Amino acid sequence: MAMLAILYLTAALSITQIQLGKSILTVEVANTPEAMAHGLMERTSLGEDQGMLFVYDRPKILHFWMKNTRIPLALAFFDEQRTITEIIEMAVPLQNEQLPPVYTSSLPSMYALEVPKSWFTRHQIREGTEFSFLGNANSVK
């Protein structure tokens, strides 16, 4: 039953492409409370140029954790102008860890992007880099 719920949630997410620096990513868009709460939980893999973009209705301090997340991830927080304000590497929680660490944005953020661990380093993406939507992104919000 849990696998069915994961498949349903994955199928319900919209997918779009973004350009970040010179790199193009295919991202699943989490823009509902349910999708944001579930994030990339239970996934066992994530392609090199894939990720999940969390879209909020207004800038605010954001909190992320790796509960039930099986793959190491990197996280970037973006302001309202879609500019990276902070990049954090996140580790898979230890098996015996009751409460995984919480990763909090230092500044109010309107977007957050999860990608494979070290992706930002491999693609030379730093704070101050902006992203843009490619194609029709009207369904993102």
Domain chopping of the chain, boundaries: 19-134
33-74 pLDDT, tens per residue? 999 999 999 899 999 999 999 999 999 999 999 888 889 999
Backbone phi and psi for residue 7, each to the nearest 5 degrees, phi listed first: -65, -40
Is the full-model pTM beyond 0.95? no
For residue 24, pLDDT beyond 50: yes
Q: Do residues 78 and 124 touch, judged by C-beta distance below 8 A?
A: no
98-129 pLDDT, tens per residue? 788 899 999 999 999 999 999 999 999 999 99
Q: Do residues 137 and 13 touch, judged by C-beta distance below 8 A?
A: no
| The CATH number of domain 19-134, selected from 1.10.1740.10, 2.60.120.1140, 3.40.50.450, 3.40.50.800 | 2.60.120.1140
